[in-house]
Structure 1
Amino acid sequence: GIVPAVTAGLSLGEYGALVAAKKMSWQDALRVIERRGLFMQEAVPVGGAMSAVMGLDFEKVEEICRNTGGIVEPANYNCPGQIVISGEAEAVEKAGAAIKAAGAKRVAPLKVSGPFHSSMLKGAGEQLKPELSKVTWMDSDIPYVSNTIAEPVADSSAIEGLLVRQVSESVRWQQSVEKMMEMGVEVFVEIGPGKTLAGFLKRIDRKFPCITIETAEDLKKLEELVC
């Protein structure tokens, strides 16, 4: 009986957010997710690279990426002091060295199978269009905040295009969380394994509580707080 005021999900989690917001069925979400993963893997069969950058402001990281040869772009704006870059392996390594020289505390290569949320995956997003066109989009009063624009989306007709873009554009997670705070959210609930998003929230604004739901038993914590 607990209904969210607004939902959001990081990257793949955006589909869970759409289901929770009653914008799409979980059956449609699972079908699209399966195809999305396949298209992303096929788009860059030789792989790519991603690195997490800690301790350097977003603007400086963006500038270094723009000035590095090859494809290297911001992929995830996670929280203050943490951004992920993605693209061609050589370009990501070169940008990482420049970012470290510019004063970053740490540049950590990530163990990933592709250069997610970079323009190298634009073709995968285009391939996803026909799959998304088969979705029965539902209208609901629960807004969700899009990764791509960090703004609430109430009109289901706009979702399809945003999910196509999401494959190859940056995940603006910090900006999405800040938008939800502006909308009056008082308590955040992270659903899924781990507490990564709760950790990001502390870095964004530690005044906001976050309940993590990893098991059915964890739901009792949420019931105690909001019921």
Structure 2
Amino acid sequence: MKLAFVFPGQGSQYVGMGQALAEAFPAARAALDEADAALGGGLLKLMFEGPEDDLRRTANTQPAILAVSAAVHRVLMREAGGGFQFPAFYAGHSLGEYSALVAAGSMSLQDGVRAVRARGTFMQDAVPAGEGAMAAILGFEPQRVKEACAEAREHEPGKVVEPANYNSPEQTVIAGHAAAVDRAIAVCKAKGAKRAVPLPVSAPFHCSLMSPVQPKLAEVLGGIQIKQPNAPVIANATAEPNTDPARIVALLLTQVTAAVRWVETIQKMAVNGVDTVVEIGPGKVLSGLVRRIDKGLRAYPVEDPAGLSTVLREVFAYGLECVDGAAPADGGVAAKGRTCQFQSFGDCEGDGMQPGPDGQPQCLDSYRCRDGHCTVQCAGHKDCKEGEVCKVGICNRGGKAVASCTENRDCIYPESCYYGQCVTRPASLRCSSDLDCPAENRCINGVCQ
């Protein structure tokens, strides 16, 4: 399984978002409180109680969605325990790119919510109320939408109308001056578009009318510490993965006036082997778009305890090998047509503590012998004793982090991460963890297979 995390943008907000998760998980409440405090208070009350009109204001919507997305991500990391794995890619839709950067460790939650509050304010002020508009064009090829916008500009000299969001092969959003947007809608309908839906937005986002935002936002972003993300973040403006912290601010500034290339973003994930996408934050819009772009991708929205339970069961089963559509075998765990068994990392007898025929331990450190096979100690908290938690396949007691790493770069060379421990690889072994092997192989008893 190869994962991607995606984060929603403006339009996914609703009164009460994040509340159920905050009531169920202290980590979620802590993240929301942190975001609220960074803005001087009032955001959390607005999110939970409304009024809806105030929540829809861009300057409030953007930090609210980011705060909920960050809270969901923190809970997911914590509750997945040993099953958590970093994604191959992060991406966010418009505002969601900031949520992705927070989740990837490139910026702090406090800096993130302050930046998007400023971004929302600048966007709201860039175009006088009533002068701008946006509309979703449905059932019309993206290239033909682009051509219709060009034709509309010819009939509305000096006016702006441009593609703003390439959401799916069947849905492209346009933005610009209201008169030019109306003209583009008429052109699209005349040429065969199924529908054109005006959007109830306060400003024409992701078009050249937003250019006054860029210098102001540059000043805000210039005061933020930007770090290298822990996995590539696919930028909206380029649909290309980026890990260079020196490029992040420029990409965020370009994003303000550039179209969100969401179709290409999901296609980039798929062509690089991603098969499962987890949507982190309020709503399920991106999960629906993912399925429309590539029906071969599995998409899981996570915004509340129910969604969290599903994704923990079906995605973050660390140390388990799952098969779709198989009937549960002895000891198997069925989950919506999926059967999961502990992965085997070699055969063993008894408790696995005695040396094998070659004099080497039957099971390597941090493994246990289960039903004649060496497996990780745990795939979730339930596999550990009371008072212990599962972290990177190891049962940890009393809050002490026995697991010291999650990947090789957490260790000092020449050590590498072997299921939670930084170890020096024995000369007789060709691999010490799956990370030492090509993507199509696993490390089984020291050999990439």
For structure 2, the 5+ residue unaligned runs are: 1-76, 78-83, 318-449
What displacement does 1:117 show? 0.5
Matched, 1:158 2:241: no
For 1:185, the equivalent position in structure 2 comes to 274
What displacement does 1:11 show? 0.7
Match among 177, 186, 191 for residue 97 of structure 1: 186
CA distance in structure 2 between the partners assigned to 1:30 and 1:141 by the alignment? 20
Q: Deviations over 1:12-51 (max 9, x none)?
A: 1111111111111111111100100010011112341000
Provide the aligned length of Structure 1 versus Structure 2.
227
CA distance in structure 2 between the partners assigned to 1:141 and 1:218 by the alignment? 24
Match among 87, 102, 106 for residue 23 of structure 1: 106
Q: Deviations over 1:57-80 (max 9, x none)?
A: 111111111122220000000001
Name the aligned partner's letter for residue 61 of structure 1. Answer: V
Which structure's relative contact order is higher, taking Cα pairs within 8 Å and 6+ residues apart? 1
Aligned residues: percent identity?
Answer: 44
Larger Rg: 2
Matched, 1:61 2:151: no
CA distance in structure 2 between the partners assigned to 1:192 and 1:218 by the alignment? 11
Local SS of the residue matching 1:211 = strand
What displacement does 1:137 show? 0.6
Tell me if the contact between 1:4 and 1:21 (Cα under 8 Å) persists in the aligned partners: no
Tell me if the contact between 1:73 and 1:118 (Cα under 8 Å) persists in the aligned partners: yes
Name the aligned partner's letter for residue 52 of structure 1. Answer: A
Per residue, is there more helix in 1 or in 2? 1
Matched, 1:52 2:136: yes
Local SS of the residue matching 1:53 = strand
Matched, 1:109 2:193: no
Moved more, 75-84 or 64-73: 64-73
Q: Deviations over 1:174-227 (max 9, x none)?
A: 111111112221210011222111111111111111111011342222222222
For 1:122, the equivalent position in structure 2 comes to 211
CA distance in structure 2 between the partners assigned to 1:117 and 1:140 by the alignment? 24
For 2:117, the equivalent position in structure 1 comes to 34
CA distance in structure 1 between the partners assigned to 2:117 and 2:281 by the alignment? 18
Moved more, 50-59 or 211-220: 211-220
Local SS of the residue matching 1:8 = strand
Tell me if the contact between 1:6 and 1:21 (Cα under 8 Å) persists in the aligned partners: no
Matched, 1:226 2:309: no
Name the aligned partner's letter for residue 311 of structure 2. Answer: L
Name the aligned partner's letter for residue 181 of structure 1. Answer: A
CA distance in structure 1 between the partners assigned to 2:229 and 2:174 by the alignment? 35
Tell me if the contact between 2:101 and 2:229 (Cα under 8 Å) persists in the aligned partners: no
For 2:264, the equivalent position in structure 1 comes to 175
For 2:24, the equivalent position in structure 1 comes to none
Name the aligned partner's letter for residue 5 of structure 1. Answer: A
Q: Deviations over 1:96-142 (max 9, x none)?
A: 00100000000000000010101000111221001011110112331
Moved more, 188-197 or 73-82: 188-197
Output the TM-score relative to the length of structure 2. Answer: 0.50
Per residue, is there more strand in 1 or in 2? 2
C-alpha RMSD of matched pairs (Å)? 1.1
